[in-house]
Structure 1
């Protein structure tokens, strides 16, 4: 059959394939305010609004509850309590049964949801919720981990990683030191708060629009609360206005409440808590107390190290087990420990149950490891970068390539990343100039630090490392894509669409991604662990490749051409010596009854983990990066500014350099906020006092580095067979901000001539910086007086 069409335009490349910078698919909508979030949906006539009633104590028994004033308030349709839950009264993600939707007989943290008001308007519901009369038998709460006593209660089992005899190695080392560091928590402070919107269907069906990173978990929670099978519940997620881990499990409660109310009142129900209530009632990044002891030689090389990470987890397990596990996984950061013991202790406290946050415990573990490096450097009078280099992991087979959890580091590029950034940032010359400046500057002190990042990529719960996708090709050549990942502003949808477009060799604007829904792709994993593009990109690629192969089989038969003579070119398919438009081939295949729809599935290979033994390969690969930051502090006030930051980061063969650069910049600034200004504070009654923008300080635009240079390591290609040899970029850049924290410490140390580690706790607020400056000044005076006394004697 002669279908020659040499007049078809032949482009050199498709528009918007992988490895090319493309804007976020909704960027113009974000700027114009036309992007639809859950609260922007048109509400059906009769939509009700719910509001949670929160506890006013942190710990105690519930003696009596009088909700009659709530029920009789204007506009109230009804009130929900534990007695109104048709099924299981629990939303714990681990199935421990320790996180009731509404408690029956006791309160475990201040701000715990006790009931929900359902009213005709949101305002009416909020006013009515404050009318409840509840009597408590108040008990003494455990607020801080130091309040837990000698036999603290754990919310879940801790973990131990051990390799070699660390105790003997520390004992036998030429130098030893020990210390304790507080590492603060962090509120997610997403732009779009928690929200859910439920609409009841026929029979027992329920559709919930939820701002969640984990649609399948929300589906499971709603189903068990309503006592229906999962196939009766559909969860929809078009986009989120930020999440950062705060919507991995914390959205469960809000979705369940709306579903229960929608079932009971047979009307659509929405819940959108006030920002204060959201911050009070939802979990945050875990704060840690890190104890460490280390033995090292005269070069600064570590011979043995012990870590204990004690975490404030809150009243229930939530994800505290895997979060504290991952803190141990990253206590090594970029450094080889010949002998190491690392222990986690996830403690119960009468505070909100802490949860996932970008990095998932990894940043806290990494900061503890970096404190040890800093301590060694000041003890030996060395540059911290010199000590870092002395402890870097070595090449595979060097004997210095095995982590504390027995995974071999096979893709180490630490030396190259660090060398290139040290040169491009002019680190050595700037450091020498800063030291000289600090000698004569009485008030303003400057500091500089260059810190590396090595971050493992994969869910440590192996079964979560899977994803599905659904691809339809329509007869006009347009493509419909659906996958199990969720879009929270990071550009996941754009990246996955680029993968599909390139697989078919069609322009990106021919591919449409639709809202994530459990009705299209079932049993999805959370969009977390930086694995969204890795997992969903591979699943979508598999689905597209299935359809492409069907088209090739059809073309080979229809045009009587061997398959090796068929090639997908930009928007055209070359079949032998003919060129056929992609859309034309699709139309012909449809007429021939070729299936143009396919599912795709992917599971991460090679990974395995034995938690009890503390051994395995929990990570598919590592992502690397390094940052160099310079700061200036005012020693009279403790205030500081970030003068300059240079970053070199490894994204593998980047799927989309523009989006990856945005993730690096955003992650760095968010990490900087965690380590400098974002302070969570509970009073002795267990009340969170930093529960609004007026009391909780996230970085402003003016807080960003005055000079901010971000470069991708474009020479890097992932050694593992990831999607287009790319690497994850969601979480690793967050930890690049450690360079700011370390630079502040370097500036503070100058007041004592760099002879003492400032031992700053995180966040390094101006108050903490000022107190550290005064402490080191006093220490320096005492040292000088002792030296003078010694000379006189």
Structure 2
């Protein structure tokens, strides 16, 4: 240990746990200071580049922009029926309302009436038929937003719709074999044979609900007509290039006519990857027809009613296992609620199938995926993109296997971990060559005092008839890359100005996750300058073209590499110029701490850039990166879809009240693999946020549709519960695992956006453990997710009834 940290241990007044924790923090601070002195700008904890603007309320979002003279406002008229034929529309009644300038319908769209991300089955405005309650049928354009909303709210009075049969749940659609895509099957070996030869067997069902993204900034687009058929669209979107293409198709113009810009979003979480398209298209169509700027910002209720969310999943499984809990065969059906259209349900299901294994080697498996077509909002991307839904099932199975054998669940998990040799191949035939899950899990179990706390919890439960405690430690293995190969590319521009300052632009979007901060750090590191020297600008389709969505946890991986490529080209030009001017070899020129070290001299960076400019050296460059080594067979569902894996584990302890169903997270210990983190402070913040968001999904964020009308009943903060600061555990220990990416990622870092969302499986399974304790662990709890108080009470009743039945027999 560093001597300064060793001395810190001797400070009085601290408990031993504080000694260890604070010593680690002090060592990290010392190490960072040393790296800064050596010229490093990555691997350093830096505040978010817009943090000072966020806290001061000065960060500009689209609705904060001053509106141009003549700006009109749009609001959407929504279908009052879940499924039906539009028989008539009294449009003149809407046109006659105060402030209304025009009413836009499907026939007003000059080009294609579609905003589907992959399959063209998602109309911008309903035409002839409605397919879910809340589907936009028309857009009111008015002089004032409130007047537009009042007029649009009359939809239920002016639309005559002939009802058609509707499927509200995925189970109904699955029973009717109604799907948005053909079923998918990922098979290795003979699952049924493996189950048949196993000494133990379980079968059952699992229910997992969906989740609303609940971004703080809602969907919004502001479309401004420009000369020569141009359209400038400010859009809160994770995918500006896709918005560009959708708007171009809707307006029946070329992509170069459409300019999409996004400086920042107030959250996205996947909800602004494809589903921002309908808002961009409607605003642009109205702006083109009226030749005036048009802003479309739905209120929170309409946002809920129109947009989709995380896919809920239903599972049916059979699993065979041996006396140690090792899985010998598993056959599982995964049925997702896709909603009325395809959207991104195909790649979401693909990722779910490819993450069912999570951290476990399974020799014989058959994983079947069904994307059920229902008359509800079209579900879409959400942080994790199907990965959490796939891995959730395997974690519940490991928990149930352990209970069936009377073993500790962590023991069963360890017995199934990926290993070496034949035990390192996934069901889709990618080898797990960077496996650190056993080492990481063992380290967390030690840090979290797993064994001692398990004994203490059992002792507590033995003397507590009403309150029951539970604990669970769950691992994560998460593949990083887009399912679709051509999305794994990025571009960037870096400009170095004559005064030595620089501007970076890239194809990623900033939604609060710190992407611009990390890209600026990469550029500063490459050119050896201070953080403040680099400024990141708005994502803009006129600067970097053909960008991929900022999704799949690839934002820093792709755009960081592209920005590094651009900065490196500039550095090479500057190094050649410096060697030519001051002697020595270009290869020996070093850039660090705002100085250029050349042939024994130290030249201030701004002095060199000024001289280079005057000598006509190019001081800007574009950069490009494409992830290497990826291949995927969509038919066989085999290949290498992921560049690498990110790992993690979480240990959670809860207490439940068996009389009320109330529960509380008492403590959470998290250890996450971010590789060689570009910015530890930002990455730890991402892990903390993902943990709480995932916990909300699995415990309290319940979506409810009316079984007959198809109305989403939980369509506002008053009826949809998300976690608050009060739901954070009083003890929350989050650390980054000391590891280096085996692949050549940006500075050997690893993605940290999506993987940690799987960590709160430990919270759900800790609740399940506590419910099980109500019956002395004799009955496997049928606990559904989200584990609301009602769900917990139902599970407790089922456990106690099961114990009574066993005793009676």
Once structures 1 and 2 are overlaid, which stretch shifts more, 15-24 or 409-418? 15-24
> Is 1:501 equivalent to 2:524 in the alignment?
yes
Per-residue CA deviations over 1:165-196 (Å, capped at 9, x if unaligned) read 11111111111111110110000000000000
Aligned to 2:541: 518
> Is 1:368 equivalent to 2:393 in the alignment?
yes
Aligned to 1:315: 340
> Is 1:573 equivalent to 2:596 in the alignment?
yes
1:149 deviates by 5.7
Distance (Å, rounded) in 1 between the aligned partners of 2:301 and 2:38: 48
Aligned to 1:109: 132
Aligned to 1:791: none
Distance (Å, rounded) in 1 between the aligned partners of 2:39 and 2:539: 25
1:25 deviates by 0.6
| Length-normalised TM-score, structure 2 | 0.95
Contact 1:14 1:502 in 2 (8 A): no
> Is 1:43 equivalent to 2:64 in the alignment?
no
1:453 deviates by 0.4
1:298 deviates by 0.5
Distance (Å, rounded) in 1 between the aligned partners of 2:654 and 2:698: 14
Q: Give SS of 1:45's match.
A: coil
Cα 1:584/1:609, change in 2 over 3 Å? same
Matched ranges for 1:481-496 at <5 A: 481-496=504-519
1:15 deviates by 7.8
Aligned to 2:249: 224
Distance (Å, rounded) in 2 between the aligned partners of 1:522 and 1:108: 34
1:16 deviates by 7.6
Question: Gaps spanning 5+ residues in structure 1: where?
Answer: 1-9, 787-793
Cα 1:783/1:646, change in 2 over 3 Å? same
Once structures 1 and 2 are overlaid, which stretch shifts more, 371-380 or 627-636? 371-380
Among 261, 265, 274, which residue is 1:236 paired with? 261
Matched ranges for 1:95-494 at <5 A: 96-132=119-155, 133-148=158-173, 150-395=175-420, 398-494=421-517
Cα 1:192/1:323, change in 2 over 3 Å? same
Distance (Å, rounded) in 2 between the aligned partners of 1:123 and 1:774: 49
Q: Give SS of 1:400's match.
A: helix
1:611 deviates by 1.4
Contact 2:579 2:599 in 1 (8 A): no
1:108 deviates by 0.3
1:289 deviates by 0.5
Among 531, 535, 539, which residue is 2:558 paired with? 535
Q: Give SS of 2:371's match.
A: strand
Q: Give SS of 2:446's match.
A: helix
Q: Give SS of 1:161's match.
A: strand
Contact 2:575 2:587 in 1 (8 A): no
Aligned to 2:734: 710
Distance (Å, rounded) in 2 between the aligned partners of 1:221 and 1:188: 22
Per-residue CA deviations over 1:317-374 (Å, capped at 9, x if unaligned) read 0000000111111101100001111110001000010000000011011111111111
> Is 1:32 equivalent to 2:31 in the alignment?
no
Among 588, 593, 615, which residue is 2:611 paired with? 588
Contact 1:14 1:505 in 2 (8 A): no
Contact 1:198 1:206 in 2 (8 A): yes
1:14 deviates by 7.3
Distance (Å, rounded) in 1 between the aligned partners of 2:772 and 2:257: 61
Aligned to 1:683: 706
> Is 1:768 equivalent to 2:785 in the alignment?
no
Distance (Å, rounded) in 2 between the aligned partners of 1:12 and 1:148: 58
Contact 1:374 1:384 in 2 (8 A): yes
Distance (Å, rounded) in 2 between the aligned partners of 1:716 and 1:255: 42
Aligned to 1:59: 83
Contact 1:359 1:734 in 2 (8 A): yes
Aligned to 1:547: 570
1:11 deviates by 11
| Length-normalised TM-score, structure 1 | 0.96
Per-residue CA deviations over 1:88-124 (Å, capped at 9, x if unaligned) read 1100011x22111112111100000000000000011
Aligned to 2:24: none
Q: Give SS of 1:261's match.
A: helix
Distance (Å, rounded) in 2 between the aligned partners of 1:219 and 1:482: 18
Aligned to 1:75: 99
Distance (Å, rounded) in 2 between the aligned partners of 1:58 and 1:220: 29
Distance (Å, rounded) in 2 between the aligned partners of 1:11 and 1:143: 57
Aligned to 2:723: 699
Per-residue CA deviations over 1:370-395 (Å, capped at 9, x if unaligned) read 11111111110111101000000003
1:157 deviates by 2.5
Per-residue CA deviations over 1:136-189 (Å, capped at 9, x if unaligned) read 111221001222264412111332111111111111111111111011000000
Distance (Å, rounded) in 2 between the aligned partners of 1:427 and 1:442: 23
Contact 1:158 1:325 in 2 (8 A): no
> Is 1:21 equivalent to 2:21 in the alignment?
no
1:679 deviates by 0.3
Distance (Å, rounded) in 2 between the aligned partners of 1:661 and 1:364: 23
Contact 2:77 2:154 in 1 (8 A): no
Distance (Å, rounded) in 2 between the aligned partners of 1:62 and 1:449: 52
Distance (Å, rounded) in 2 between the aligned partners of 1:562 and 1:359: 48
1:756 deviates by 1.8
Distance (Å, rounded) in 1 between the aligned partners of 2:225 and 2:443: 58
Q: Give SS of 2:424's match.
A: coil
Question: Gaps spanning 5+ residues in structure 2: where?
Answer: 1-33
Per-residue CA deviations over 1:29-49 (Å, capped at 9, x if unaligned) read 111111000000000111100
1:28 deviates by 1.4
Q: Give SS of 2:422's match.
A: coil
Cα 1:291/1:157, change in 2 over 3 Å? same
Count of paired positions = 773
Aligned to 1:7: none
Q: Give SS of 1:399's match.
A: helix
Per-residue CA deviations over 1:737-792 (Å, capped at 9, x if unaligned) read 00000000000001111122102111000001011111111111222222xxxxxx
Distance (Å, rounded) in 1 between the aligned partners of 2:98 and 2:583: 76
Q: Give SS of 1:752's match.
A: coil
Among 628, 637, 640, which residue is 1:614 paired with? 637
Distance (Å, rounded) in 2 between the aligned partners of 1:472 and 1:563: 21
Distance (Å, rounded) in 2 between the aligned partners of 1:504 and 1:130: 55
Per-residue CA deviations over 1:661-680 (Å, capped at 9, x if unaligned) read 00000000000000000000
Distance (Å, rounded) in 2 between the aligned partners of 1:551 and 1:307: 58
Distance (Å, rounded) in 1 between the aligned partners of 2:325 and 2:268: 40
1:427 deviates by 0.7
Contact 2:89 2:160 in 1 (8 A): yes
Per-residue CA deviations over 1:255-308 (Å, capped at 9, x if unaligned) read 111111111111111011010000010011000111111110001011111111
Once structures 1 and 2 are overlaid, which stretch shifts more, 623-632 or 561-570? 561-570
Distance (Å, rounded) in 2 between the aligned partners of 1:45 and 1:17: 44
1:529 deviates by 0.2
